[in-house]
Amino acid sequence: MTQPADRRPDRTSNTRRTAYTLPVCLLALAAVAGAAVTALAPVDARGWAGAAAAGGWVLLAVAVCVGTVKANGLRARTAEAEDELLRTRAQLDSRTAEDMGLAQVTLPAVARLAREGVAPDEVLRQTRPPALPSQRELLRVCVTALADAEQRAVAAAAAGRSAADDVARMSDDVRRLAGETLPSVVDKLRGGASVDRVLAGMHWPQDPALRDLTEAAVRELALSERRAAAAQAASAKALSRVQAKSVSMLADLRDMQDRHGEDVFGDLLAIDHSTSQLGLMTDRLALLMGGRSSRAWNKPIVMESILRGAVGRIAAYQRVRLHCSTRVAVVGFAAEGVMHLLAELTDNAANFSPPTDEVHVYVEESRTGVVITIEDSGLRMSEAALRRAEESVSGQMTDLALLQGTRLGLAVVGRLAVKYGMNVSYRPSARGGTGVVVLLPPQLIAQQAQAESAPAATPVTTAAAPALSGTDAVPAPRRSGDTRTAPAAHATPAEGTEIPGHVAFEEHSTGRERTADGPDAHDQVAGHARHSATRSPQDSPGAPGTQPPAGGGTDGRGATLGGLPVRRPGRTMAAAHAELQERQAAHARDRENTTRTPGTPGPAPADASGPAGTEGTAGPEGTAPGRRQRTPRDIGAGFGAFHRASRAADESEPPPRAE
Partner 1 sequence: MRRPVDVGAPDRLYTVTGGRSRSDGSSFDLVTLIVAECEPSVGQQSEHRRILELCRHPTAVVEIAAELSLPITVVRILLEDLQATGRIVPRHPRVAASATLPDTALLTEVLHGLRNL
Nearer to partner 1, 317 or 505 (CB): 317
Considering only CA atoms, which of 357, 278, 361 is closest in space to residue 324? 361
Q: What's the closest the beta carbon of residue 513 comes to partner 1, in angstroms?
A: 18
Nearer to partner 1, 21 or 469 (CB): 469
Residues 518, 505: contact at Cβ < 8 Å? no
Nearer to partner 1, 275 or 392 (CB): 275
Q: What's the closest the beta carbon of residue 552 comes to partner 1, in angstroms?
A: 5
Count Cβ neighbours within 10 Å for each residue of 105-128 and write b for 16 or more, e otherwise.
Answer: ebbeebbebbeeebebeebbeebe
Helix (H) or strand (E) holding 479: helix 475-480
Q: What's the closest the beta carbon of residue 353 comes to partner 1, in angstroms?
A: 18
Nearer to partner 1, 93 or 650 (CB): 650
Cα separation of 77 and 521, whole Å?
A: 173
Q: What's the closest the beta carbon of residue 323 comes to partner 1, in angstroms?
A: 8
Long-range contacts of 355-360 (CB under 8 A, 24+ apart): 355/316, 355/319, 357/319, 357/433, 358/319, 358/320, 358/321, 359/316, 359/319, 359/320, 359/321, 360/320, 360/321, 360/323, 360/431
Residues 60, 30: contact at Cβ < 8 Å? yes
Nearer to partner 1, 239 or 488 (CB): 239
Cα separation of 630 and 227, whole Å?
A: 57
Nearer to partner 1, 294 or 540 (CB): 294
Nearer to partner 1, 95 or 308 (CB): 308
Tallying the residues shown for the chain, one arrives at 659
Cα separation of 242 and 283, whole Å?
A: 9
Q: In what order do the strands lie in the sheet with 434-440?
A: 320-323, 359-366, 369-375, 434-440, 423-428
Cα separation of 156 and 363, whole Å?
A: 81
Nearer to partner 1, 20 or 265 (CB): 265
Q: What's the closest the beta carbon of residue 407 comes to partner 1, in angstroms?
A: 26
Q: What's the closest the beta carbon of residue 192 comes to partner 1, in angstroms?
A: 21
Cα separation of 1 and 536, whole Å?
A: 162
Nearer to partner 1, 213 or 641 (CB): 641
Considering only CA atoms, which of 330, 407, 332, 336 is closest in space to residue 369? 330
Nearer to partner 1, 9 or 569 (CB): 569
Q: What's the closest the beta carbon of residue 466 comes to partner 1, in angstroms?
A: 6
Helix 262-288 to helix 332-351 angle (10° resolution) is 100
Nearer to partner 1, 425 or 581 (CB): 581
Cα separation of 95 and 451, whole Å?
A: 127
Q: What's the closest the beta carbon of residue 445 comes to partner 1, in angstroms?
A: 17
Cα separation of 422 and 630, whole Å?
A: 38
Cα separation of 428 and 375, whole Å?
A: 9
Q: What's the closest the beta carbon of residue 392 comes to partner 1, in angstroms?
A: 25
Nearer to partner 1, 449 or 618 (CB): 449
Q: What's the closest the beta carbon of residue 492 comes to partner 1, in angstroms?
A: 17
Q: What's the closest the beta carbon of residue 453 comes to partner 1, in angstroms?
A: 10
> In sequence order, what are the residues at sequence separation of 6 or more whose Cβ sits closer than 8 angstroms to the Cβ of residue 496?
481, 485, 486, 488, 489, 490, 502, 503, 506
> In sequence order, what are the residues at sequence separation of 6 or more whose Cβ sits closer than 8 angstroms to the Cβ of residue 60?
26, 27, 30
User: Strand pairing of 320-323 and 359-366?
Assistant: parallel
Transcribe 498-542 into DSSP letters: TSHHHHHHHHHHHHHHGGGG-HHHHHHHHHHHHHHHHHSTTTTTH
Nearer to partner 1, 3 or 560 (CB): 560
Q: What's the closest the beta carbon of residue 167 comes to partner 1, in angstroms?
A: 57
Q: What's the closest the beta carbon of residue 223 comes to partner 1, in angstroms?
A: 28
Cα 634 to Cα 106, 281, 368, 659: the distances in Å are 122, 36, 37, 15
